[in-house]
Amino acid sequence: MTSTSASAPKPFDVVGIGNAIVDVLVQAEESFLDDHGLSKGTMALVDESQAELLYASVGPGLETSGGSAANTLAGIAQLGGRAAFIGRVRDDQLGAIFTHDIRSVGARFETTAATTGPSTARCLILVTPDAQRTMCTYLGASVGLDPADLDLDLVRQSQMLYLEGYLWDSEEAKRAFIAAAEAARESGGQVALSLSDAFCVDRHRDSFLELVDGHVDVLFANEMEITALYKADSFEAAADRVRGRCRVAALTRSEQGSVLLAGDETIAIAPFRLGDLVDTTGAGDLYAAGFLHGYTRGESLERCGRLGSLCAGQVVTQLGPRPQASLPELVRQHLG
Amino acid sequence: MTSTSASAPKPFDVVGIGNAIVDVLVQAEESFLDDHGLSKGTMALVDESQAELLYASVGPGLETSGGSAANTLAGIAQLGGRAAFIGRVRDDQLGAIFTHDIRSVGARFETTAATTGPSTARCLILVTPDAQRTMCTYLGASVGLDPADLDLDLVRQSQMLYLEGYLWDSEEAKRAFIAAAEAARESGGQVALSLSDAFCVDRHRDSFLELVDGHVDVLFANEMEITALYKADSFEAAADRVRGRCRVAALTRSEQGSVLLAGDETIAIAPFRLGDLVDTTGAGDLYAAGFLHGYTRGESLERCGRLGSLCAGQVVTQLGPRPQASLPELVRQHLG
């Protein structure tokens, strides 16, 4: 197969921009969510003092690197993809953990750590007995991502730019992300976006609608997020609305699997059940990892969806959003 | 039942003194241990630069509070016992995690954090595919435990003083621990010691022999540790040597269960299999937790052993040394 492009192949498959976060996973009862006014399955932003108060009221935690796009890029690297991540930590112990973990799976991560200001972002993740996760995020140093850190050269060297919707919670950075999306496309790359969270969609609906229409090639959303985006009454109505607005919309529906919409095509992807459901943290992030890994390798959309579904199916059988099992081994076993 | 003692009941069941450590759990292949000259199943001490080098060479980690005696006291608190812990962290992010976790299960932990000097202790725990753990510990701030922190009042207010053998790696503190042991006994309490690690026994054999003979009521050791202590050829020979030197010797033998020696009595305790073996980190610590919880409640030795065996059986089915399951619930299910 000969390339029609005169340019050298791009050195990265996917570059992600996101909040650089360390997760604190804690087991909690349903009543804890009620007592603290938390809405199950969503992400709430908290300031440092709220974060401290909440932390003081929960049981023992398990700490792990997190961050939505960071989880996705770590997953792509674990799958053998050429991955890079851009996000801001502070030069503290949690920042060192985040940096170690993403580099140790082979992803490039060179964003300079902040030497002053808020500490590395933390997300308190309450895992209820039904394995659902409810998140309270203190964005800390991650909102200090400097437009200069966006490294447009790295973006141009990547086949795909991946943005998490959570980034839109950093007001001043929005324009920089649009600039990055434009740089990606101008250099022949594509842009993927995850809507991240239904409340996040509510906060930034107009901005997301504009982005999807104007800048996004691959959109990831779960049922709540896509219905929130189009204020739709049903999943089907939302799916009708998004069809044709980007190359591919990958819509995830938990235990009902996922649906890929591409042009007139609709591809249903079955979920993988690999064990007991332990913790849904990272399910969407790992779906995106599997999908994008296949997509940037030129796999069929169906196989991309199955790769996403498999990676999501693994991560929900463990505590935390970074796969503790070997993803390439899983792919060999289940997808040949 | 009337008490023969005129004194008020002691407010704490067990107070533990140990290194205050945050664990970094990493999955590793057998070859990694060979390449780095690590002996499987043991604990090696490393300095800060060795710790950093080693960390840079491993995959992503999962962070959790650890420390041998701290794990035991956290377990006792989770079981509903009145537990206190003495150990030194630094006032850094890992120190805050350690402090949160042990307090959040209801254990008292009031040792003042160091404001200068080395950072909070970290233990890099390599978990191999056979679920064995191999540990490299950077003691950091924990060696700065001040004799003034030993809080002899707290020791006198506790039925049992629990010491981890690892403490003997802090040269200057040995005398202080002996003083604590004496304070415990003078106030009518008892003293328990865990031998911790076979290499640790090799480093401090004479000191441990003296301690067992002169100060210890309840001794915890696994097969390697007790044979190392007496330079014995076999488990049976070591068991013969230790019998009668303390009230109870609780000797653990992994999948063969454990043996309690008390006077002429020998009680064999079967192991509990509660699921797949995932990670042996904390097995000995949780055995001690279950045993001491029963012991300080005046349970029969057999039930103490079964409690220990059950708690150890739970913790090996998960990653990390702090039980993520409810121990009281497990006790209800398995021991009535």
Cα three-residue angle A210-A216-A217, rounded to 5 degrees: 150
Query: What's the pLDDT band for B174 if we cut at 50, 70, 90?
Result: confident
* pLDDT value, residue A336: 87
Maximum Cα–Cα distance for chain B, whole Å? 62
Sequence-distant (6+) residues with CB within 8 A of A153 are none
Q: Is B162 left (phi over 0), alpha (psi -120 to 50) or beta?
A: beta
Task: Annotate A253-292 with b (16+ C-beta within 10 A) or e (fewer).
Answer: bbeebbbbbbeeeebebebbebeebebbbbbbbbbbbbbb
Tens of pLDDT, residue by residue over A248-280, are 999 999 999 999 999 999 999 999 999 999 999
**What does the pLDDT read at residue B139?**
95
The count of structural domains within chain B is: 1
Does residue B290 have a pLDDT over 60?
Answer: yes
Stretch 103-122 of chain B: residues touching chain A, C-beta under 8 Å? 104-105, 119
Mean pLDDT of B208-220: 95
Chain A contact for B141 (CB, 8 A cutoff): no
Asked, for residue A44, whether it belongs to a domain, the answer is yes
* Averaged pLDDT for residues B72-101: 98
Q: State the pLDDT at residue B240.
A: 97
A7 in a domain, yes or no?
A: no
Q: Is residue A107 part of a domain?
A: yes
- Region A91-101: mean pLDDT is 98
Of the candidate ranges A79-93, A147-161, B77-91, the one whose mean pLDDT is the lowest:
A147-161
Which of A60, A97, A102 has the CB atom closest to B65's CB atom? A60
The answer, for B319 touching chain A at a CB cutoff of 8 Å, is: yes
Of the candidates B244, B242, B248, the residue with the CA atom closest to the CA atom of residue B218: B248
What end-to-end distance do the CA atoms of chain B give, in Å? 24
Q: Report chain B residues whose CB lies below 8 A from the CB of A74.
A: 60
Q: Is B336 exposed, middle or buried (0-12, 13-18, 19+ CB in 10 A)?
A: exposed
Percent of chain B with pLDDT over 70: 97
**Structure confidence at residue A3 (pLDDT):** 39
Q: How many CB atoms lie within 10 A of CB A76?
A: 33
Dump the DSSP string for A218-254: EEEEEHHHHHHHTT-SSHHHHHHHHTTSSSEEEEE-G
Averaged over A155-168, what is the pLDDT? 95
Is the CB of B56 less than 8 angstroms away from the CB of A93?
A: no
Q: What is the pLDDT of residue A148?
A: 82
Nearest by CB to B63, from A56, A64, A104: name it.
A64
The tokens of B333 are what? 């299910």
Paired tokens of A134: 């409810």
Task: Assess whether pLDDT exceeds 80 at residue B172.
Answer: no
Task: Look at residue A177 and tell me whether its pLDDT is greater than 90.
Answer: no
Are A104 and B63 an interchain contact pair (Cβ–Cβ within 8 Å)?
A: no
Q: Do A62 and B60 touch (CB under 8 A)?
A: no
pLDDT attached to residue B177: 87
User: Mapping DSSP to helix (H, G, I), strand (E, B) and coil, where does residue A48 land?
Assistant: helix
Q: Residues A179-202: what's their mean pLDDT?
A: 95
Query: Which chain B residues touch A70 with a CB distance below 8 Å?
Result: none
For B80, the domain range is 12-18+67-116+144-335
| Cα gap A72→A15, rounded to integer Å | 10
Mean per-residue pLDDT over chain B, rounded: 95
A56 reaches B (C-beta below 8 A): yes
CATH of the domain at B188: 3.40.1190.20
Instruction: Quote the mean pLDDT of chain A.
Output: 95
Kindly indicate the confidence band of residue B149, based on its pLDDT and cuts at 50, 70 and 90.
Answer: confident
Number of Cβ atoms within 10 Å of the Cβ of B165: 26
Q: Does residue A304 lie in a domain region?
A: yes
Question: How many other C-beta atoms lie within 10 A of the C-beta of residue A148?
Answer: 9
Q: Which of the four pLDDT bands, split at 50, 70 and 90, describes residue A5?
A: very low
CA distance A282 to chain B (A): 15
Query: Which pLDDT score, from 0 to 100, does residue B7 have?
Result: 59
Q: What is the DSSP string of A87-117?
A: ---BSSHHHHHHHHHHHHTT-EE-PPPBSSS
Share of chain B above pLDDT 90, in %: 91
The amino acid that residue B99 corresponds to is: T
A159-173, A211-225, B240-254, B294-308, range with the lowest pLDDT: A159-173
Nearest CB to A63 within list B63, B104, B105:
B63
Average pLDDT of B263-274? 97
Closest chain B residue to A102, measured at CA: B60
Residue B47 falls within a domain, yes or no?
Answer: no
Between the two ends of chain A, the Cα-to-Cα distance in Å is 24
CB contact A61 to B (< 8 Å): yes
Going by pLDDT thresholds of 50, 70 and 90, the confidence category of residue B144 is confident
Mean pLDDT to the nearest integer, A115-132 = 97
Provide the pLDDT for residue B2.
39
B50 inside domain: no
**Nearest CA to CA, how far is A336 from chain B (Å)?**
23
A-proximal residues of B, 242-301, CB under 8 Å = none
pLDDT for A206: 94
Task: Quote the percentage of chain A above a pLDDT of 70.
Answer: 97
Q: Which residues in chain B have Cβ-Cβ distances shorter than 8 Å to A324?
A: 27, 62, 319
Would you place residue A170 in the very low, low, confident or very high pLDDT band (cuts 50, 70, 90)?
A: confident
User: Among A47, A255, A41, A30, which residue's Cα sits nearest to residue A138?
Assistant: A47
Task: Give the mean model confidence (pLDDT) for residues B267-281.
Answer: 96
Q: Is the pLDDT of residue A172 over 80?
A: no
Is residue A2 in some structural domain? no
Smallest CA-to-CA distance from A88 within A73, A69, A71, A110 is with A110
Best residue in A53, A54, A62 for a mutation probing chain B (most B CBs within 10 Å): A62
What integer pLDDT is reported at residue A2 of this predicted model? 39
Contact of A101 with chain B, judged by CB distance below 8 Å, is answered with yes
Sheet holding A265-269, edge to edge: A108-109, A83-86, A12-17, A158-164, A190-194, A218-222, A248-252, A258-262, A265-269
- Look at residue B3 in the predicted model and tell me its pLDDT: 39
Whether residue B28 lies inside any domain: the answer is no
pLDDT above 90 covers a percentage of chain A that reads 90
* Strand-pair category, B133-138 with B121-127: antiparallel
